[in-house]
């Protein structure tokens, strides 16, 4: 698998290019588009519309974003379930905030890829509903850090599995694999 992109390097590239999202938000948006079933180059048009008023992103940032896109695609297609959300490495409160930003943008990307998302039923519909509830949860900086960290890890794993569930639901796996 290709080298993992770091939150800080991607975030710095986004800031220096004056793109109004952080690394978690971008990763969530791209993941939502991919999990929503978009497997062709149309993801670039959606991304440019959302981030840069329809204009193509320039130079190194464009290359980095393509790398992130390919990495997400690889991880979601991998049977080992190695997909991870891109969050800051330190600070529990910062990671929780990043996760909420990530989920918001994941839902946005998923909705762009699946315009009828609100009509989805069953396990996937319930999981998407749960994501909407998760982003409304709050925390208090005075809360027990250990309990909060445990809850965060549990929710993070649920979000990760929900992403994989959505990917399995909306992606045509047979078009990219040879059947024997």
Domains, the chain, ordered by start: 7-175 (1.20.120.740)
Alpha-carbon distance of 46 to 49, in angstroms, equals 5
Q: Is 92:145 a contact under the CB 8 Å cutoff? A: yes
- CB atoms inside a 10 Å sphere around CB 58: 10
Residue 27's pLDDT band (cuts 50, 70, 90): very high
Give tens-digit pLDDT for 92-151. Answer: 999 999 999 999 999 999 999 999 888 899 999 999 999 999 999 888 888 899 999 999
- CB atoms inside a 10 Å sphere around CB 94: 13
Angle between the 59-77 and 7-16 helix axes, to the nearest 10 degrees?
140
């Amino acid at each position: 698998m290709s080298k993992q992109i770091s939150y800080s390097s991607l975030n710095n590239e986004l800031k220096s290019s004056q793109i109004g999202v952080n690394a978690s938000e971008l990763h969530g948006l791209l993941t939502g588009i991919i999990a929503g079933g978009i497997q062709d180059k149309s993801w670039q048009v959606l991304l440019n519309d959302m981030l840069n008023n329809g204009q193509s992103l320039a130079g190194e940032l464009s290359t980095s974003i393509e790398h992130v896109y390919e990495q997400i695609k690889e991880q979601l297609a991998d049977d080992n379930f190695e997909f991870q959300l891109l969050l800051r490495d330190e600070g529990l409160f910062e990671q929780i905030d990043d996760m909420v930003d990530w989920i918001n943008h994941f839902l946005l990307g998923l909705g762009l890829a699946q315009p009828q998302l609100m009509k989805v039923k069953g396990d996937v519909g319930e999981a998407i509903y749960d994501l909407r509830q998760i982003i409304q949860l709050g925390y208090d900086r005075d809360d027990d850090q250990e309990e909060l960290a445990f809850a965060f890890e549990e929710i993070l794993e649920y979000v990760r599995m929900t992403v994989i569930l959505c990917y399995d639901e909306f992606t045509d796996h047979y078009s990219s694999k040879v059947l024997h």
